[in-house]
Structure 1
Amino acid sequence: MGTIIICLILAVICIFAVRSYVKKLRSGCCGAGEDPVKSVRPSDRDLSHYPYSCKIVIEGMSCKNCAKRVENEFNERDGYYASVDLKENCAVVHMKQKQPADTLKKMVEHAGYTAVSVEPA
């Protein structure tokens, strides 16, 4: 009888562990237990309206929620259109007006990550 109770307790623990792991896989490291980060689309999605662009190398991103946070930091502001490549740890930011590298780095830091470098795209 004692063996059956122990097996049931272990089975319940395994079920909770698997559910937690599946939830983490679906939402990424930053969103476990929370709703996934929703994408903010830029008001103007025509890339021909953005004559300036740069590539920002970013440290600290590890999942799709991280990437969305960086994209949203730019896309919620007028004059920016950003897309993040999580595998390359970088963002390509298209701009209607040229911006100094320090401004772009501060925006990345405001999203919670570190901008390593800003270079023309």
Structure 2
Amino acid sequence: MANVIIVLILLVLVGYGIYSFVHHLTRGGGCCGERDAAVKKIKVEDRNKAHYPHTLVLGVDGMTCQNCQRHVENALNVLPGTWAAVDLAARNVTVLTKDEADEDAIRQAIRDAGYLPLRTTSKT
């Protein structure tokens, strides 16, 4: 009787493992829809870096993939007069601005995208 119970438990565990594996392959898994269609990148209209004299570098927690990178960049690139570039390896974002950076608005945009802004590492 004990052998039957052990075999049934093992069958349930193997069945669940196969289900999880197939679900991960077909529906994706991990971070922020990394297997979904990529989020379209929002590009800034003015791509002349000379027009952006102010720089703010913030650490951002929670970014793990290129979709995360795109989410943060998009959230900041829609702000007027900003141009953002994320360094995923360093887990920070460099924000170029035409006027003095509104750090509170930038931090809020990062939060609204679902990430946690950390300390300011550089400001010019």
Matches within 5 A, 1:33-112: 34-112=36-114
State which structure, 1 or 2, has the greater radius of gyration over its C-alpha atoms: 2
**Contiguous gaps of at least 5 residues in structure 1:** 1-9
Matches within 5 A, 1:19-38: 19-20=25-26, 29-32=31-34, 34-38=36-40
Identity %: 30
Query: What residue is the counterpart of 1:16 in the other structure?
Result: 22
TM-score (norm 1): 0.74
Query: What residue is the counterpart of 2:123 in the other structure?
Result: 120
CA distance in 1, matches of 2:76, 2:24: 36
How far apart are 1:33 and its partner, in Å? 5.1
Work out the number of aligned pairs and report it.
Answer: 107
TM-score (norm 2): 0.73
> Where does structure 1 differ by over 3 angstroms across 4 or more consecutive aligned residues?
13-21
CA distance in 2, matches of 1:59, 1:109: 10
How far apart are 1:45 and its partner, in Å? 0.7
8 Å Cα contact 2:31/2:64 also seen in 1: yes
8 Å Cα contact 2:34/2:67 also seen in 1: no
RMSD between superposed Cα atoms in Å: 2.5
**Contiguous gaps of at least 5 residues in structure 2:** 1-14
8 Å Cα contact 1:59/1:89 also seen in 2: yes
